[in-house]
Amino acid sequence: MLGRGLKRKLSDYEENMAGLSSAFDSSRNLPYPLKRQLVLNMCLTKLQTYKMLVEPNLHRSVLIANTVRQIQEEMRQESNQQPINVCPGITPSSHSYTGMESSGIPLQLPSGISQQESNCCDLRSVEDPIENSLLIVSDDDMSSAISSILKDLDFVEDISPPTCLVPTGDDQPKFPENTGLKLEDDRQDLKGAECVFGSFEISNSTSYLKDLAIDDIFEDIDTSMYDSDFCCPPLMPPRPPSLATEEPLKTFPSCNSSSASNIQICRTDLSELDHIMEILVGS
């Protein structure tokens, strides 16, 4: 029996790839930290995209994750050489060097950080605003992101039985409210994420959450919306926890400084959301 294959052609692209136009390559005067930030952002964007795929490419994911780790390590070593402890609270955004306010670096202060440290951060930021904002990324955020992606790639064997997200008192993660608002823009991403979690075990991505300090996850929350006008927080659509923790990796609107007190106001609202989350995830 003669088999007949159907010949299919890849559609010819009309235009050249505009690939060789990266600012990194064309500009020789870009300072090193800026270049590094560009690369880091690209890496994180790619990892984010791969996470949306049903079957991410393991080879590429590993290469990109290694690149992120390498940059992370470099940044960590640089920051270790600094005399002052740096706030782990500043997250890069892809508009990082264009979106910054000229007056200084807006910092998101997790409530756990003492006033002392925050003063130091402010001081440092005034001295070299751009470098400071670009250098510091929460190590835990990135490590968690990489870990979660790699763990999700282990999608066939050793699938552990599904576990509910069990509240454990203080360790219970609280979800940032602003993500509810951000989700207006990210609906598509969210949909993709939900598809991803249709096939993956949610438990795969919650393991690292318990290792993180609560405040580390949400240092970069834009809490400017938490003013007294807000009585009822908008109800968040159900979100698996790992996606929430990857929020820091996505692009952010320009961060506005906010006071710690605003965060306090909303803690009770957040715990309500937690409760709803438990119910949704647990089912």
By CB under 8 A, name the binding residues for another protein: 1-7, 9-10, 12-13, 16-17, 19-22, 24-25, 35-36, 38-39, 42, 54-55, 57-60, 62-67, 70-71, 146-147, 150-151, 153-157, 198-199
Could you tell me the smallest distance in angstroms from the CB atom of residue 213 to another protein? 19
Query: Residue 5 or 169: which CB sits closer to another protein?
Result: 5
We find the least distance from the C-beta atom of residue 229 to another protein, in angstroms, to be: 42
Q: Looking at beta carbons only, is 178 or 205 nearer to another protein?
A: 205
Q: Which of 104, 39, 105 is nearest to 66 (CA)?
A: 39
| Minimal distance, residue 71 CB to another protein, in Å | 7
Quick one: 78 or 122, whose CB is closer to another protein? 78
CB of 147 to another protein, least distance (A): 4
Smallest distance from the beta carbon of 98 to another protein, in angstroms?
Answer: 18
Contact 214, 174 (CB under 8 A): yes
b (16+ CB within 10 A) / e for 34-67 = bebbbbbbebbebbbebbbeeebeeeebeebbeb
Residue 29 CB, nearest approach to another protein (Å)? 14
| Closest separation in Å from C-beta 220 to another protein | 23
Closer residue to another protein in complex, CB, 158/229: 158
108 vs 204, which CB is nearer to another protein? 204
Q: Residue for token digits 């949610």?
A: 202
Cβ distance to another protein smaller for residue 28 or 115: 28
The nearer residue to another protein, 19 or 83, going by C-beta atoms, is 19
Nearest distance from C-beta of residue 162 to another protein, angstroms: 15
Nearest to another protein of 69, 215 (CB atom): 69
- What 3 state SS string does the chain have? CCCCCCCCCCCCCCCCCHHHHCHHHHCCCCCHHHHHHHHHHHHHHHHHHHHHCCCCCHHHHHHHHHHHHHHHHHHHHHHHHCCCCCCCCCCCCCCCCCCCCCCCCCCCCCCCCCHHHHHHHHHHHHHCHHHHHHHCCCHHHHHHHHHHHHHHHCCCCCCCCCCCCCCCHHHCCCCCCHHHHHCCCCHHHHHHHHHHHHHCCHHHHHHHHHHCCHHHHCCCCCHHHCCCCCCCCCCCCCCCHHHHHCHHHCCCCCCCCCCHHHHHHHHHHHHHHHHHHHHHHHC
